[in-house]
Structure 1
Amino acid sequence: MAQPTGTKNDQAEISKKHSHISVQRYFEISLLLMLATGFVTVATTGKLDLISTVVVTGALVLKLSSYAREKDYSLAPRAVTRLSVFYIFFYALDFLIFSPGPAPLDHMLQATVHLVLFTTVIKIFSARKYRDYAYLASLSFLMMLASAVLTVATTYLACFAAYVLFSISTFISYEIKRATETSARAPEGPFQTPGQNRVSIEKALFKTALGLALGIAALAAVLFFVIPRYRTGYLTSLGTQSQSITGFSESVNLGDIGKILRSSAVVMRVTVTGNPRAFQGVKWRGVGLTSFDGQHWYLDNTEQFPVTPVSYEQFLLEPPEGWQNRPRRLVRYRVLLSPLSTDVLFVAAVPRELSGHLRLLNLDQTDSLHNPQRTGSPLAYDAVSDVALPPPAALRRARTDYPTEIRVVYLSLPKFDPRVRDLAAQVSASATNNYDRAVAIQNHLRDNFGYTLDPPAIDSRDPIGSFLFKARKGYCEYFAAAMVVMLRTLEVPARLVNGFQTGTYNRVGKDFVVRTRDAHSWVEAYFPQYGWVPFDPTPADPNPVLPGLLDDYVDAVGLFWNEWVINYDFAHQVELAREVDQDSRLFQKEARRGLRNFQGKGARLAFRVERWLMSHKLLVLLMMLAILGSLTASEKGLSISELRFLWAWRFGRRDLTLRPREATLTYLRFLRVLEKKGFRKAPSQTPQEFALSFGGSPLGLGVFEFTRLYNRLRFGHSPVSLARLKALLSDIVRGSVSR
């Protein structure tokens, strides 16, 4: 039955309407996800206050949930106007009262950020025009741009990937939406139901967006590593907020290190050259502190001396006192330092060379290194250090005639509990030299005191005395401070050093991950002719934190992100090109070697095959005949069962009986013989009808008997003698009757 034209046009209009609704819905969801990704990226930088984060997050979740519930959560124009007028007055209160900051400009900046976020929330629930959509899309882009300046965390990579996907999805659906609205041509059938229409459109758009995003990511990765890079340092002053870390300034309260020992934030990652086991036990030296007033450690002379570079961003450090009397053990490593609230550079033992993104390098009186141009970005530098220590026998023979400047600074003592002096003398009573005295105090503190992050009964007015005689438990800073004071009471110059322990070796990233919980304090004692020698009186932590394999993978991703993305520059490009060239040459070399090995193995195999063939000529001849027969049979279309039948027919024993499945092959041979004599069986004839058609022919009896035996073999499953069938067929062949 013919369908009226109007009905088809109505279906077209309905389909167009449903298509527009589906595209509009997909476009709005993509735009909101694009905006949400930008906001989450900014929120992860820690720059937004809690109230703003909660309000905007709640608005985004509420709006997105409306699509799942198929409800319209929108603000009427009148409500938008009233809220906007209200916020004009609230902005003044926000600027004057609510927004924090040390200066009026900071108040205005915070209030303006709140204004932008308020406008965003309003637009989320009132966007109806293209300019509203453009505002939200532009704001999401600005959020991603600001986050790129404010953070260097690996979370930005995940957020950026999601943002690219949602932005592509948004702009594709926007173009389709606009084309649908301006299209004058009605869509053609077949027409889907509204539900099918929405699902198919959303699936198609998402697959397209995902494919484009993956293609863009692949192309962008290639361009990122290939395009020449130049590190300018623009906008670094607006960079990430430095990680707050205590214990590495010119003045430190005794106990400050304990504030960061509970944190697991990554301070630096160290990639070493050579066997990583050689670095086990190596400490990353930070700052040395000379003077103690009973509660604070500090530098009595804060003057820093610039180190002259030998070339651009490369420094050679003067060898320390007594270096000519010490053995040599140089180690090379690369440090990727996170943004910290200190200008101290962390190195192993005695640094000899330093290079990296450092235009200035300073040295203080304790041989600690400082970066006066510290920024909020991660810092990468390569270093060579001498980690060898003088042998104990040499230190036992060291002189005790200390220079005046050493005695004045490193033998000074505050007012302290007199029992500390008595304890030091008691512990070192059997020692005859300063080295053995230092070792005796170190071992006494290790063996008789406990390690804990919550030391009990520490009196802030006398922390050393209360630690040694009351608490008898504490963490590294108390142990090191107590040893320094005890050594000074014995006229052994000593100082406190703050830094980090070796860290945890990452089996995946092949680097040492140093966290704030690895912060450590130890002691350096002075020996004339040999310089400063480290001692560590702190016992091992009874509950060390051991990372799992998942932690290693996460840290490895962080290392790659910071090293090859955040700090990627022309030097990295040169290194990458060198590695690619080396790998390609190595691949070519291995390929040529593999080809030569393959050719050699092939020649040896051919020689062995030749020898075998020459010694088994008859077997080879039979195999060739068998193969030739198989090829001939395959050309004629003969199967294995047919070949077996032919063999049995020609060479079988006379008493052999045929099986039922060979009946057809026998009958086909029978038909070919009759066909040569002019008797062709019609396709419609049964074997019995064909045999009866011979009537009184001289061949009739033979044909009838052969057919009877065939039927008995085929359908009666009764064995039939091969000799009998061959005899009947021979009689038929010798017959002279023609049709």
Structure 2
Amino acid sequence: MSTALRQRFQQLRFPKTSSHAVALVEDSVALRVSVQALVSVGILATDMAAATGNGLWAIPLSLMGAAWSYRQRRRRNLGAKIGIAVGMLLVLFFFLSRLVTQLGDSRVALAELLIQLQVLHTFDMPRRKDLGYSAVIGVILLGVAATISETTAFGGFLLLFLAIALPVLMLDYRSRLGLGAVKQQISLAPRRLLGVLLTVVILGLTIFALLPRLPGYQIRTFPVSNPIEFQGQFDGQKIVNPGYVKGDPSQAGEGGQTFADGAETGQLDSEFYSGFNQTMNQNLRGSLTPKVVMRVRSQAEGFWRVLSFDQYTGQGWTISRNDNVKTLKRPAWSYRFFTPPTVAQGQSKEIVQTYSILADFPNLIPALSQPKEIYFPTREIAVDLEGSLRSPVQLEEGLTYTVISEVPYRDRTLLSQATTDYPAKIQPYLQIPVEIAQPVRQQAEELLSKADQMPTSAYEKSLFLAQALKQNYTLQPNLPPLTDDQDLVDAFLFQYEGGYPDHFSTTLTVMLRSLGIPARLTTGFGSGQFNALTGMYVVKNTDAYAITEVYFPKYGWFAFDPIPGHALVPPSVEQNQTFTVLRQFWNWVAGWLPSPLTGLLSGLFALIASAFARLSLLSGWQGIVTGLLLVVGLVFAGWLGRLLWRSWRYRRWLSTLPPIVRLYQQMLKQLRERGLPKRSQQTPQEYVQQIQQQSPGLADIVAEISHAYVGWRYGGRPANLPYLRQQLRALMKMRSRSVK
């Protein structure tokens, strides 16, 4: 059939379709398959991150729709379009209905809406731009999965998505320009694609490591689990630790004090930390089996505080005012609870934390200090006098909640100037058994007397005593159980000269009380292992321990950690979190380097950081000029480095060539810089003819060198290298004169 007849047949078959619209119909099967694979990866990534199960039905249906759409790509398909429009309206209606009833995070609902719309869209994709819409939906789904994912498994989907996206972009470009016209220029060879993929991955990881970690959560809709309905009357006094009591919280005794078998026999439960209960028995022995408890996404690293104790019992701690708790209720239309405000002077910073529980946990809600807003799925929670948060139900695997804390900055100068005029409400934090008060005080004063300069303020005394316990007492994992008449602090100081990790914090707390400094014991979790790829802290049960919190009038409670091997002060907002990823990467690299080299590089980085810190203090025109000069200097240094790098690579490449080939390539470089490049498809003789036409003055020298190169390469004839080098130098001088 002739071309004219074929075109006429198309016009008769599609009388209302313009020739332009027909031309836009996408016939590339490879492009369609690649786009569909791209969308499938986005669906699977979202399904993995949110565990929605959408991939089980969405991917097969979208494949069916894509196949049908390809077969019907040149038809009008009015019936299908009407059906798709109705389906999209129904999907939108169900989405809006769900959005009204769902109080918390709406990202999963939005992702499911996109998946449903994409499945409907696959049944009508005749044109190239329709495929572009699908590709954009795939990118959006991957972005949603990135914000929801809490593990590094997302990295595999990201690499797979990138590996598919590169050929999709190339195929789309080829389709736009015409496949035959660009077949030579755009190659889809696996080796070429792999090289581009590796380049993009390396550049992406470099940018990711150097990118500042700026504070997120600029909206007030935070991740929270679905609502949890609690049956019965909520008693905020009950604390239920599965390591102490099994079963229903309502079956626990007075204050939740029913003990499990291990607690009765003096042995620790192997899964649950014993410090999360109304009474903390520090005469228990044993160790925890490591298990991941939760993941935390936080704007700052910190100590995930759980519970505080005010009364020392001689072999542990208890909450003496456990009956004085306040029940908080939230409105039906919001997950947000407001805690009673705390009045404290000094600067503070708002820190948002999102907790994902991965294992059964007591009905206690971990949070950074000074929580002010809690987004929790139950209708009620409770807060005690120590600021600890309690839930009506035990925290189970899969639960997610968010806390906003107003964390105070730790200003050593201000805290050292704090008065010792303590209010009456602080008296419980000065309680100490009479029989050990005098010897403990004498031991504390003896330790303080060893300071080069005797500490006078409560803050400096707390800091020095915490450090003194680290240096003068040792961890003893095989400490025998105490007898009924033994006191833990007395045995720690005068008999064993050490003990379990939590015994250090108990001893520091009692020591400070003996000096008239209000202190309490607080249990919680260390920050855990930071995952630079997910941006989350992975917290295990073995990260749980106790610290000492000291009260400073007008400023509130601040923590000290006397446990050997721990930082003297737990991490908090005084540390800059902007370059956390880069710092974590450096810590990982430093672990593999020799200590002298690590010290040298650390000193260099500190010097650079100090220089930037000084520059940041400049303001006005001086700061602007300095900044501009710095930017210009960096750009010039980068340009110069690139030139030197290219020059070094070129010289290295020349050194690997035979002498005549090296001389011929040097000639081509000189001519290329003069504006006479040799095309790849030209033979040396054809290039000589080009030079004769464009620059006759250079033709003789170019012809001599070219003929010698051809004779050596194809005829094996030796070349007169000294003469040819002399001719090359003459060519370079002719170029110099021409430039002048």
Q: TM-score range by the shorter chain?
A: 0.3 to 0.5
Relative to total residues, which structure has the larger helix share, 1 or 2?
A: 1
Q: Which TM-score applies when normalising by structure 1? A: 0.39
Instruction: Find the structure with the greater CA-based Rg.
Output: 1
Q: Which TM-score applies when normalising by structure 2? A: 0.39
